[in-house]
Amino acid sequence: MNGPMKLGVPLVAALTIAACNAGGSSSVPGTTSQVSSLSHAHTMVPDWQAKGLAQPACPQVVGKPTCLALIQSKSGISPTVAGWAPIDFQTRYNLPSSTNGKGQIVAIVDAYDNPNVASDLAAYRSNFGLGTANFTKYNQNGQTSGYPSGSTGWGVEIDLDVEMVSAVCPNCTIYLIEANGADSNDLDTAEVEAVKLGAHIISNSWICYDSNSCVDASDFDTSGVLYLAASGDAGYNNNGNPESLATVVSVGGTVMSKSGSTYNEIVWNGAGGGCSDNGTGTGVAKPAWQHDPSCTYRTDADIAAVAWQAAEYDTYGYSGWFTVGGTSVASPLNAGIFGLAGNASSLNAGEKFWKLRPRHRHHDLHAITSGNDGSCGGSYLCMAGTGQYKTYAGPIGWGTANGIKAY
């Protein structure tokens, strides 16, 4: 698909747009009818869509994998850098980016090919003084040739993911595994291949909305490997997979601001979060390490990071710098932070965040106390700062990093 497609109906509640096609042509290969199973979905339209603040890089289709990158730039692509830079993430999150991360392999799993990803990543890192990347691109079978056909939509996602890992963990080794297409079987195959290639951490910036059967849960459950996934861009009660799996760290999103030298974050209105059953009574079983009171199923998210106005460099279908948003930003940022911490092999999904003692939460995470991702009667499942369950809130989990001790 050449460029972003703007949705003309409420996201998720009435999706009628076909999935990204493999070849990057401007035609849409088919359409899907409205999915009646989404009649329960929350009707609020996220601000990014309602106010025309962004366009999805990939078309959205219920029950099928879609990338979550949102293109924000209204004035087109620019040769001038705009948006949050690595120094902003590193400073806000108090990260040892210049010293840590060596030997840690962070894998990115996406669909289709971005033939310019290596040169785009090199340009991004050069611009911000991050040094030369230790980067390898593979197809879904673990080969460094025979890549799938290209897609400029997924190409935005691919560039974003590898650049965000680099932004916080420039010393990390980055593997990109490109699935043959935006199909659950291909993406699951790529997920398994990432493990075979030796990844310690795997980040997924794609989602299947409202589908419990879109991914094979066993492909996201390997001892010694930490899986992360973006919580989605459709707000409260619009969860999906793989982020809702209990074996995956679900990553929500924030909006960051800066006054002088001081940063602040609030909930990003589009961040997915809440009870994984989406109000249907059928969801992912609650893991033993979750004890929040208002959800009998797996509660999303676990942790968060910036999900709005990140700088990206992309020359595949575009011509340089633009700003992007979505929990697509937050998942690879957190993957890089786990790389800095260096102990991903000992972690069990998001369990550590849920078991942190109060003093550790206070010192090692930024509590997010303002904002919501929908209307839920004032519950912590969609609203920050309620105090109903400690410092937890659905769209941002337990907050954002303040150093690496919580990771």
Weakest-pLDDT range from 33-47, 187-201, 203-217, 321-335: 33-47
Residue 80: per-residue pLDDT: 77
Q: Which of 27-31, 233-237, 336-340 has the highest mean pLDDT?
A: 336-340
Report yes or no: 153 and 57 within 8 Å, Cβ to Cβ. yes
DSSP state of 11: T
Report yes or no: 91 and 40 within 8 Å, Cβ to Cβ. no
Weakest-pLDDT range from 53-62, 355-364, 391-400: 53-62
Report yes or no: 181 and 22 within 8 Å, Cβ to Cβ. yes
**Domains of the chain, each with CATH number or no CATH:** 67-401 (3.40.50.200)
Residue 246: per-residue pLDDT: 97
Q: Percentage of the chain with pLDDT > 70?
A: 87
Average pLDDT, the chain: 89
Beta strands 262-267; 274-275: pairing state: unpaired
pTM flag (> 0.85): yes
Which helix or strand (DSSP H or E) is residue 163 part of?
Answer: helix 152-168
Q: How far apart are CA 388 and CA 129, in angstroms?
A: 43
Q: Give the residue-averaged pLDDT of 383-400.
A: 98
Tens of pLDDT, residue by residue over 172-181, are: 999 999 999 9
DSSP E strand boundaries for 232-273: 240-241, 248-259, 262-267
DSSP state of 263: E
Alpha-helical segments (H) within 245-380: 327-341, 351-355, 358-364
Tens of pLDDT, residue by residue over 262-279, are: 999 999 999 999 999 987
Does residue 1 surpass a pLDDT of 70?
Answer: no
Beta strands 201-204; 262-267: pairing state: unpaired
Report yes or no: 256 and 90 within 8 Å, Cβ to Cβ. no
Does residue 233 surpass a pLDDT of 90?
Answer: yes
When pLDDT is cut at 50, 70 and 90, the band that residue 20 belongs to is very low
The contacts of residue 357 (CB under 8 Å, 6+ apart) are: none
Tens of pLDDT, residue by residue over 109-144, are: 999 999 999 999 999 999 999 999 999 999 999 999
- In b/e form, how buried is each residue of 328-347, taking b as 16+ CB within 10 angstroms? bbbbbbbbbbbbbbbebeeb
Residue 212: per-residue pLDDT: 63
